[in-house]
Amino acid sequence: METISENRCYGGTQGVYRHPSHSTNCSMTFGLFMPEEAQHAPVPVLWYLSGLTCTHENAMVKAGAQAWAAEQGIALVFPDTSPRGADVADDPGYDLGKGAGFYVNATQDPWAPHYQMWDYVAEELPRIITANFNVDEDRQSITGHSMGGHGALTLAMGLPGRFRSVSAFAPICHPTAGEWGRKQLLAYLGPDEDMWTPHDATLMMQAEGLDIPLLVDTGSNDQFLDHLMPEALANAVMARRIPAQLRLQKGYDHSYFFVSTFMEDHVAFHAEALYS
């Protein structure tokens, strides 16, 4: 693992690291904030999954999460959103290919050789972090924005027992039924829509429910509301009578101004679960 940078941040360290990935068959870069408490004992971990067009860097520099994580003594992981490199397949559109991995394991060409983002985020990167940093692998939670909110919800439901809580900012809630989802799932996973179900938070909620705390914030002025479909997830939560906080925040859009506004709430929400 190569250290790209390490900077003093709120008493802890904000680092950026690169490593060869066996899952994606290329070099991957991630950001990691370690609070001051990690110098003395293993600390809990909050995963932040970013959205379309993002890298590890967007939330790391725009979300304002480090201040609140430092206050709670929580590590923050900022993975990249896709494989990278000259030999990695791409698409001219912003919503497919590099920057748009959708946190799935692709089975279709030309994506399959590199786009194994579920395995990378669920298995490989956690092993790397626990082996190299003073974190508590038994205390983990997950959040994300937009495509990353989709990833956070599906990983939390797809890996029962892994996370203590899950939250999302403006997540893509029902990708099998929307423009942000059908195109990508068809490209990555092929035409058999049964293969898409484990990557749709609404369908997963309908089928299995969720037994950990859930918080979702979406802006009422989000310019992509028709793509996100928060009402589909809300209906599934209500049908299964799952305890959850599903909030529509008046006047907010899809930007990092929205994310940073409610980041304190989300970190505190996860801290309650991680320290309970």
- pLDDT tens for 97-141 read 999 999 999 999 999 999 999 999 999 999 999 999 999 999 999
Share of the chain above pLDDT 70, in %: 100
Share of the chain above pLDDT 90, in %: 100
Are the beta carbons of 28 and 84 closer than 8 angstroms?
yes
Tell me the CA distances in angstroms from 23 to 39, 109, 119, 121, 237, one per residue in order. Answer: 30, 16, 6, 9, 33
DSSP 244: -
- Count of domains for the chain: 1
Query: What's the CATH number where 104 sits?
Result: 3.40.50.1820
pLDDT digits (tens, 9 = 90+) for 216-231: 999 999 999 999 999 9
What is the C-alpha separation between 117 and 79, in angstroms, rounded?
10
pLDDT digits (tens, 9 = 90+) for 208-265: 999 999 999 999 999 999 999 999 999 999 999 999 999 999 999 999 999 999 999 9
Task: Specify the amino acid at residue 276.
Answer: S
Are the beta carbons of 180 and 197 closer than 8 angstroms?
no
Active site residue ranges: 146, 222, 254
Q: What angle do CA 78, 79, 82 make, to 5 degrees?
A: 145
Give the pLDDT band of residue 68 (cuts 50, 70, 90): very high
Across the range 56-78, mean pLDDT stands at 98
Across the range 47-55, mean pLDDT stands at 98
Name which of 31, 2, 30 is nearest 14 in CA terms: 31
pLDDT at 213: 98
The boundaries of the domain holding residue 221 are 2-274
DSSP sequence for 26-83:
EEEEEEEEE-GGGGTS-EEEEEEE--TT--THHHHHHS-HHHHHHHHT-EEEE--SS-
Helix (H, G, I), strand (E, B) or coil at 245: strand
pLDDT digits (tens, 9 = 90+) for 4-46: 999 999 999 999 999 999 999 999 999 999 999 999 999 999 9
